Structure 1
């Protein structure tokens, strides 16, 4: 199972949080549903601005430990290297997730279509 190292931020880019997850969409949903006990709405970490996929947990853990030790300036450079406008990448993930479910549904239904002919 793939592991993902990611960076999320709030809408004002005040905080940058590095994390690791096997299910990034579920993790991001958790951030969005997190009660406002700890943060006001401007501080909620709901914007995915960077992520990397790894084949093994060991690779991901090594990268997570490294990126976690980065200074803020290093994290900002990392984000800008692939996301210069700091757009929320969650939209693309949702789209990719929808496409992958459609492919699975099509693959399941294709053999049934062939058996009808």
Structure 2
């Protein structure tokens, strides 16, 4: 099962929080529903600035432990090459997940076959 290591920050980039999860979109949704769980309202963690996808749970746990020991400067050094403007990566993830799901209005193949054979 795939795991994700992520770094999330607030709008002022004051706090950098490292996390580990199996469903990144669900975790980010949790952060938006519970904005003051870890910090006060001025420091809401709501901006995903970095993530890694790791294939095995053991590798993910080792990587998480390693990245968690990083200083702020080391975390910034990790983020800047892949996200130099510190934009919120959640928007891209939401678009990608919507592309993967099947549209509800699209007819199924079996319904089309029935329509064609009924003539």
Per-residue Cα deviation, 1:42-87 (whole angstroms, up to 9, x for no partner): 3011100000001111111111111111111010011111000000
Looking at structure 1, the residues matched to 37 and 6 of structure 2 have their Cα atoms a distance apart, in angstroms, of: 23
Looking at structure 2, the residues matched to 38 and 2 of structure 1 have their Cα atoms a distance apart, in angstroms, of: 25
In the alignment, does 2:18 pair up with 1:18? yes
Looking at structure 1, the residues matched to 112 and 20 of structure 2 have their Cα atoms a distance apart, in angstroms, of: 40
Change (3 A) 1:35 1:18: closer
SS, match of residue 80 in structure 2: helix
SS, match of residue 88 in structure 2: coil
Q: Give the equivalent residue in structure 2 for 1:91.
A: 91
Mapping for residues 100-115 of structure 1, pairs under 5 Å: 100-102=100-102, 109-114=108-113
Looking at structure 2, the residues matched to 108 and 61 of structure 1 have their Cα atoms a distance apart, in angstroms, of: 42
1:37 Cα offset (Å): 6.0
Runs of 4 or more, structure 1, over 4 Å off, are 105-108
Looking at structure 2, the residues matched to 66 and 37 of structure 1 have their Cα atoms a distance apart, in angstroms, of: 24
SS, match of residue 77 in structure 2: helix
Unaligned runs of 5+ in 1: none
Change (3 A) 1:22 1:41: same
| TM-score normalized by the length of structure 2 | 0.85
| TM-score normalized by the length of structure 1 | 0.86
Query: Cα RMSD between the aligned structures?
Result: 2.2
Q: Give the equivalent residue in structure 2 for 1:7.
A: 7
Q: Give the equivalent residue in structure 1 for 2:49.
A: 49
